[in-house]
């Protein structure tokens, strides 16, 4: 389809201009002009500048109209309006132009086909990974602490999600510590929905929460209630929606792995979830209206229940003699729209296992310190894994060609030495170190034969090489931990005079850390063997750095590098 659209547009353009083109060929057969003379152009970096082949439209990356242009098929409409094209066009040029267009269209078709295949594979991996994540979340919400899923995935986001799921399942106590806030907020949501379902359209959720999801649900719920029309015909429709939402909240309420009660000011139970019914062995239908004191059994209960005026139950831990269990009781008042407390939410979390663990830790000081050591080992293991992944990327980059082996490590060593000489803080040096290791990751998508080519690169091959900073940014962009690295990797081939790539930035527009990598990268490239030449002497590379200081390289960083160079080699 892509090729067909391009072909149709090309035929349309050529058909419109065919008559003028034929006449032009007859009238201008022997007249040739040079584009750089015709436009008085001094763009010496332009691939068409002072070249014997005057068919500049066939060259990629020409500096037409003060901008770098793409391939012929990208700039054809502009070329057809150019007087250089009209003057220099003849039958051989037409034949060569058509062959080039056909070649470029085939290349575009292949790129689209490869991208479609890549997206299809990634979509399948994403679907399988999300399925595993959702299934694990379902088990965790049911209270299963043994959930474990493989953390390997080709998609970084899925790997991170799986890692989070496994860490969450390991520490149920952390979930329990946060559970009372869910209970209080969800109970308020449930109560507001219940009141609105009965026609109390002024009801709103007023409670605050530190949990982003609950805040978002609060906004959604309040906005939904505010938008309910008071007309009778529409009121029934909204009432059905609220009843449906209430049922969903009930499902969530009942799935919580701890007991939740809603009690009135007389300490009678207004509502409870299924977990409470099962824990205290009271049929669910018999709980409503039952005194809360008949559900729990601990000696200090009567003292805690003797509330007066604005006092209410406190958060406490207690031992239930009948059930032989320890509970953590969280209590929160529910005020009405005037701020007067009308009910309480009581959350009972079974902490028997936690208490047993605490007793064991008190009895064994060594066990506590062993746990700290294990945590320290786990942290170091994760850090070592992070470093191993980065070095795996580096090995994959340098393995592209025998000529680049060890390049990333050397560039990193030079870059860190420059930053330390300039007095950069440790945090910036660590960012620079990782960016330097990964600065050429975009070359993973470059053809091996280009990197190993012994002769001079063609314009198309050189344009492909110049794209590796952009590709490197695209590869690392999905990884949130590498966000600070992206501008450094994208701009490590920029020049102070604006003649670098990919964005032709100048001076302070270029990140300073990218300027450091540019110096280290250039020095290592100049002092290393390449398929088309042997490494020049070290003195040559030093002279080039000095000569280009201020135009291509940052002078301050060049001076720092020359200072530490003797210690590095």
DSSP string, 63-108: -GGGS----HHHHHHHHHT-HHHHHH--HHHHHHHHHHHHHHHHHH
Integer Cα distance of 226 and 223 in angstroms: 5
Report whether 564 contacts 417 (CB < 8 A): yes
Report whether 276 contacts 288 (CB < 8 A): no
Integer Cα distance of 405 and 473 in angstroms: 22
Q: pLDDT value at position 552?
A: 94
Integer Cα distance of 187 and 543 in angstroms: 74
Q: pLDDT value at position 503?
A: 94
Integer Cα distance of 451 and 427 in angstroms: 34
The gap between the terminal CA atoms of the chain, to the nearest Å, is 56
Report whether 528 contacts 540 (CB < 8 A): no
Report whether CATH 1.10.3210.10 matches the domain 374-568: yes
Spans of the chain, pLDDT less than 50 = 1-6, 8, 15-16, 28, 173, 229, 232-233, 299, 301-302, 305-312, 368, 372, 375, 378-379
Q: pLDDT value at position 58?
A: 83
Taking the model in full, what pTM does it have? 0.37
The CATH topology of domain 178-359 is Beta-Lactamase (3.30.450)
DSSP H helices in 198-229: 212-226
Q: pLDDT value at position 560?
A: 94
Q: pLDDT value at position 507?
A: 93
Q: pLDDT value at position 542?
A: 92
Integer Cα distance of 73 and 508 in angstroms: 35
Strand ranges (E), 227-384: 259-264, 269-272, 316-320, 325-335, 341-350
HSE, side-chain direction, 13 A CA sphere, residue 345:
23
Q: pLDDT value at position 496?
A: 96
What is the side-by-side strand order in the sheet with 259-264? 269-272, 259-264, 341-350, 325-335, 316-320
Report whether 105 contacts 7 (CB < 8 A): yes
Q: pLDDT value at position 308?
A: 42
Instruction: Using CB atoms within 10 Å of the CB of residue 310, give its burial: 0 to 12 exposed, 13 to 18 middle, 19+ buried.
Output: exposed
**Structure tokens belonging to residue 336:** 């009405």
Q: pLDDT value at position 240?
A: 67
Give per-residue pLDDT as tens, 175-185. 555 666 666 66
Indicate the domain borders of the chain: 2-89, 119-170, 178-359, 374-568
Q: pLDDT value at position 328?
A: 82
Instruction: Using CB atoms within 10 Å of the CB of residue 35, give its burial: 0 to 12 exposed, 13 to 18 middle, 19+ buried.
Output: buried
Inter-axis angle of helices 512-526 and 407-421, nearest 10: 130
**Structure tokens belonging to residue 373:** 């050591």
Contacts of 503 (CB under 8 A, 6+ apart): 490, 491, 494
Question: Which residues make beta-bridge pairs with 350?
Answer: 327
């Amino acid at each position: 389809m892509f090729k067909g659209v391009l072909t149709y547009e090309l035929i349309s353009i050529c058909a419109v201009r065919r008559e003028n083109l034929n006449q032009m060929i007859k009238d201008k057969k022997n007249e040739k002009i040079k584009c750089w003379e015709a436009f008085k152009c001094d763009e010496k970096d332009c691939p068409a500048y002072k070249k014997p082949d005057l068919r500049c439209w066939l060259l990629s990356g020409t500096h037409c109209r003060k901008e770098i242009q793409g391939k012929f098929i990208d700039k054809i409409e502009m070329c057809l309006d150019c007087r250089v094209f009209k003057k220099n066009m003849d039958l051989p040029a037409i034949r060569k132009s058509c062959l080039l267009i056909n070649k470029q269209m085939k290349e575009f078709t292949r790129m689209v086909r490869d991208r479609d295949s890549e997206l299809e594979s990634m979509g399948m991996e994403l679907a399988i990974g999300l399925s595993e994540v959702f299934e694990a979340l379902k088990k965790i919400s049911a209270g299963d602490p043994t959930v474990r899923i493989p953390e390997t995935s080709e998609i970084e986001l899925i790997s991170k999600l799986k890692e989070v799921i496994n860490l969450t399942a390991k520490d149920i106590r952390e979930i329990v510590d946060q559970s009372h806030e869910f209970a209080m907020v969800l109970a308020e949501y449930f109560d507001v929905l219940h009141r609105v379902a009965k026609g109390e359209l002024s009801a709103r959720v007023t409670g605050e929460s530190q949990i982003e999801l609950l805040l978002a649900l609060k906004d959604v719920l309040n906005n939904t209630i505010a938008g309910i029309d008071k007309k009778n015909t529409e009121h029934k429709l909204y009432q059905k929606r609220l009843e449906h939402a209430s049922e969903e909240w009930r499902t969530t309420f009942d799935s919580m792995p701890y007991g939740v009660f809603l009690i009135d000011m007389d300490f009678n139970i207004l509502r409870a979830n299924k977990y409470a019914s099962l824990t205290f062995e009271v049929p669910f239908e018999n709980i409503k209206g039952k005194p809360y004191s008949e559900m729990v059994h601990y000696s200090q209960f009567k003292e805690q229940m003797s509330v007066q005026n604005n006092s209410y139950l406190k958060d406490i831990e207690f031992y239930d003699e009948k059930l032989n269990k320890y509970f953590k009781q969280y209590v929160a008042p529910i005020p009405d729209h005037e701020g007067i407390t009308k009910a309480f939410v009581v959350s009972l979390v079974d902490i028997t296992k936690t208490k047993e663990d605490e007793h064991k830790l008190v009895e064994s000081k060594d066990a506590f310190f062993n746990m700290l050591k294990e945590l320290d080992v786990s942290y170091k293991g994760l850090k070592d894994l992070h470093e191993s992944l980065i070095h795996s990327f580096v090995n994959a980059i340098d393995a592209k060609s025998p000529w680049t082996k060890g390049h990333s490590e050397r560039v990193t060593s030079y870059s860190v030495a420059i930053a330390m000489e300039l007095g950069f803080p440790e945090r910036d040096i660590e960012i620079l170190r990782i960016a330097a290791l990964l600065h050429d990751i975009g070359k993973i998508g470059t053809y091996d034969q280009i990197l190993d080519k012994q002769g001079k690169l063609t314009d198309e091959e050189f344009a492909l090489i110049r794209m590796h900073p952009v590709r490197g940014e695209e590869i690392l962009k999905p990884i949130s931990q590498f966000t600070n690295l992206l501008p450094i990797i994208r701009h490590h081939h920029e020049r102070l005079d604006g003649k670098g790539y990919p964005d032709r930035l100048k001076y302070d527009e270029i990140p300073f850390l990218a300027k450091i990598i540019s110096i280290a990268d250039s020095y290592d490239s100049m002092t290393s063997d390449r398929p088309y030449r042997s490494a020049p002497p070290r003195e040559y590379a030093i002279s080039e750095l000095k000569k280009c200081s201020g135009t291509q390289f940052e002078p301050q960083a060049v001076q720092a590098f020359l200072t530490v160079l003797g210690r590095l080699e």
